[in-house]
């Protein structure tokens, strides 16, 4: 990675679009997405890598955007919840009421979407393990599990 000193204009690829943004080397991707690009789906929870509310997908894998510097995302493809439209996962979350306050929801959706991209035939244990990186303070876990079970079971039946 090149060295960045002072404020720099960088190019990020977010939800398939090239976005130009001015950042400090210490700016985290979460803050840049929310405050500079207006993509507020990723949420600041702990800002410490623990809660998963800030999860986005980078090159197909889930990352906690509070732990990624914006400059580290240069040259990578970033997908936020705003880039997920009408997916089976989103519909399943709605159908199963898999949220209460909704603060954690985009993080769960992104983690689950990354699992779907990488392991469409994930079994229940894999789904469970994958989602351990995300916390729901409202404890909507049974509804979230139900939504995911529905999507991954249907995938297996195809």
104 sits near ligand FES (criterion: CB under 6 A): yes
Strand pairing category for 8-14 and 77-79 = parallel
Residue whose pair of structure tokens reads 């919840």 in the numeric block? 81
Q: Which stretch binds ligand FES (CB under 6 A): 1-9, 12-20, 39-47, 146-154?
A: 39-47
- CA-to-CA distance for 98 and 93, rounded, in angstroms? 5
CA angle 125–131–135, rounded 5-degree value: 135
CB 131 to ligand FES: min, Å: 12
What are 66's two structure tokens?
């509070």
40 makes contact with ligand FES (CB under 6 A): no
Q: What is the rounded distance in angstroms from the CA atom of residue 103 to the CA atom of residue 93?
A: 13
Q: Which of 13, 19, 25, 44 binds ligand FES (CB under 6 A)?
A: 44
Q: Count interface residues toward ligand FES (CB under 6 A).
A: 23
Query: Footprint of ligand FES on this chain (CB under 6 A)?
Result: 44-54, 64, 66, 99-104, 136-138, 140
């Amino acid at each position: 990675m090149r060295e960045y000193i002072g404020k720099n204009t960088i190019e990020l690829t977010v939800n398939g679009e090239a976005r130009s943004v001015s950042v400090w080397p210490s700016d985290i991707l979460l803050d840049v997405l929310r405050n500079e690009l207006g993509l507020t789906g990723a949420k600041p929870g702990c800002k410490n890598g623990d809660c998963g509310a800030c999860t986005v997908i980078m090159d197909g894998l889930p990352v906690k955007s509070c732990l990624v510097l914006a400059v580290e995302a240069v040259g990578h493809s970033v997908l936020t919840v705003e880039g997920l439209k009408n997916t089976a996962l989103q519909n399943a979350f709605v159908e199963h009421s898999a949220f209460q306050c909704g603060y954690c929801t985009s993080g769960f959706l992104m983690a689950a979407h990354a699992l779907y991209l990488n392991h469409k035939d994930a079994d229940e244990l894999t789904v469970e393990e994958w989602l351990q990186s995300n916390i729901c303070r409202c404890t909507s876990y049974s509804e979230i599990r139900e939504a995911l079970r529905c999507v991954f079971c249907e995938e297996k039946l195809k």
